Amino acid sequence: MALGPLDTVETAFIRAAIDPSYWNEAMDVGARAVSAFGSALFAIGGRLPNSPHSASLIPSFESYVRDGWISRDERDRAWPAFSRRGVGTDLDFCSPEQMARHPYYQEFLAPHGLRWWAGVRMASGDTELCWALQRTVGQGPFVDDEVRALAGLSRRLSGPFALAQALGFGRADAALASFQASGTAVALLDRFAEVLGINEAARALLGRDLQISHKRLTSADRDATVALDRALQALLWAPGATVSMPPVVLPRMDRRPLLAHPMRLPGLCVDMLAPCQAVVVIIDLEAHPRPSQAALRRSFGLTPAEARLAAQVASGQAPAVAADALGVSYETVRNQLKAIFAKTDTHRQAELVALLAQFLNETP
């Protein structure tokens, strides 16, 4: 099959770099130019399910994510050729006879009528993308002349990618400045949930209880670190409409805990090419008043004794400490805490602290 005018691909990608809402359409434009059934754009490492893709690939892409092929893509074996010449194909690592037997081709691709692929390299600094071109069984593989043309296109497409990266970093810097102006502590994370940048308000909270270790936000409390990692993973792999996860409580040794709110910001985490893929807003409960007992009683139907305990627990106090502060037995606190969990539909103190945080500014 003959390739069409490749200038249209570069033009479409430049437009998408400036206007990220155009990326899916750019995949269609590019696919038509190279005589492919459809195309998609993936990060090399850290693939996410929000990758731009052609409308024609929607059914197969849904299967790719739903059935786990995204994390065991057979075409990763083409990366040596891909890195060396700027393009890789199925035939760089697999014969037609092997394709006829391999589950990736027979269980995943064949039901959608697909088979032949070429991956075109796009690079900006240390970051690489793969523009994945998909052909049907009948369209046949990419032949040598097409592969050479795609290798030349690879060098041209690095320009739009560099532009998209530069605009993304500009949005990230502006976001950090905006959060700092409002006094809000925030960390910007990339697609690996690694810290891309933090503002001064967040930096002031770092220390023994909260650190950046191996580029990741970590709490001195191991369980809290695991909970934050899980929340970020769920956010990064959630459907596009999901913009936030429930806050995660990060305990501190001698002060009230921090609350970490993982979220996506539509103007910042605009697409898969954006350097920033997630935001963690950090709330210092020490800087906020304790929740009003009246507000807790009104909202959850707590008794006066339960509301007093809930206000203590919302500060991150351990049950034994709360018992001493309230002048009651530890067993009484345990029984009251069970009632509070039932009335607030929570199961652990961390969940309760996160829920009660919304009442910090309520008046009595």
**pLDDT tens digits, one per residue of 44-65:** 877 888 889 999 999 999 999 9
List residues bridging with 134 in a β-sheet.
Answer: 38, 117
Share of the chain above pLDDT 70, in %: 94
Q: How far apart are alpha carbons 76 and 98 in whole angstroms?
A: 16
Q: How far apart are alpha carbons 294 and 363 in whole angstroms?
A: 8
List residues bridging with 260 in a β-sheet.
Answer: 248, 282
- Within the chain, all domains assigned CATH 3.30.450.20 are found at 182-287
| pLDDT (0 to 100) of residue 56 | 97
- Within the chain, all domains assigned CATH 3.30.450.80 are found at 7-164
Residues 36/135, Cβ–Cβ less than 8 Å: yes
Q: Was domain 293-359 assigned CATH 1.10.10.10?
A: yes
What are φ and ψ of residue 224, in 5° steps? -65, -40
How buried is residue 356: exposed, middle or buried, by Cβ count under 10 Å (0-12/13-18/19+)? buried
Q: Three-class SS of residue 41?
A: strand
User: Higher confidence at residue 290 or residue 337?
Assistant: 337
Q: Which two structure tokens, joined as six digits, stand for 12?
A: 């479409």
Q: Of the spans 131-140, 293-302, 334-343, which averages the highest pLDDT?
A: 131-140
- Within the chain, all domains assigned CATH 1.10.10.10 are found at 293-359
Q: Which two structure tokens, joined as six digits, stand for 42?
A: 């993936």
pLDDT, tens digit (0-9, with 9 covering 90-100), for 100-129 = 999 999 999 999 999 999 999 998 877 889
In the numeric block, the tokens 């005589």 are attached to 35
Would the pLDDT of 279 be above 50?
A: yes
| pLDDT (0 to 100) of residue 49 | 86
Q: How wide is the angle at C-alpha 141 spanned by C-alphas 135 and 142, nearest 5°?
A: 95
List residues bridging with 278 in a β-sheet.
Answer: 189
Please state which of the ranges 5-9, 70-74, 274-278, 327-331 shows the lowest mean pLDDT.
5-9
Please state which of the ranges 24-28, 86-90, 101-105, 309-313 shows the lowest mean pLDDT.
309-313
CA nearest to 35, candidates 17, 8, 69: 8
Would the pLDDT of 360 be above 60?
A: no
Q: Of the spans 216-220, 310-314, 347-351, which averages the highest pLDDT?
A: 216-220
* pTM of the shown model: 0.75
Share of the chain above pLDDT 90, in %: 54
| pLDDT (0 to 100) of residue 17 | 92
Please state which of the ranges 163-172, 211-220, 344-353 shows the lowest mean pLDDT.
344-353
Q: How wide is the angle at C-alpha 88 spanned by C-alphas 48 and 233, nearest 5°?
A: 10
| pLDDT (0 to 100) of residue 16 | 93
Residues 139/44, Cβ–Cβ less than 8 Å: no
CATH, domain range 182-287: 3.30.450.20
What are φ and ψ of residue 284, in 5° steps? -95, 105
Q: How far apart are alpha carbons 171 and 187 in whole angstroms?
A: 14
Q: What mean pLDDT, rounded, does the chain reach? A: 88
CATH fourth-level superfamily of 7-164: Transcription factor LuxR-like, autoinducer-binding domain (3.30.450.80)
Q: How wide is the angle at C-alpha 270 spanned by C-alphas 213 and 72, nearest 5°?
A: 65
Q: How far apart are alpha carbons 76 and 132 in whole angstroms?
A: 11
Would the pLDDT of 133 be above 60?
A: yes
Would the pLDDT of 363 be above 60?
A: no
Give the helix, strand, coil percentages of the chain, each rounded to 5. Answer: 50, 20, 30
Please state which of the ranges 2-11, 116-125, 172-181 shows the lowest mean pLDDT.
2-11
Q: What is the DSSP string of 122-155?
A: EEETTEEEEEEEEEETTT-PPPHHHHHHHHHHHH
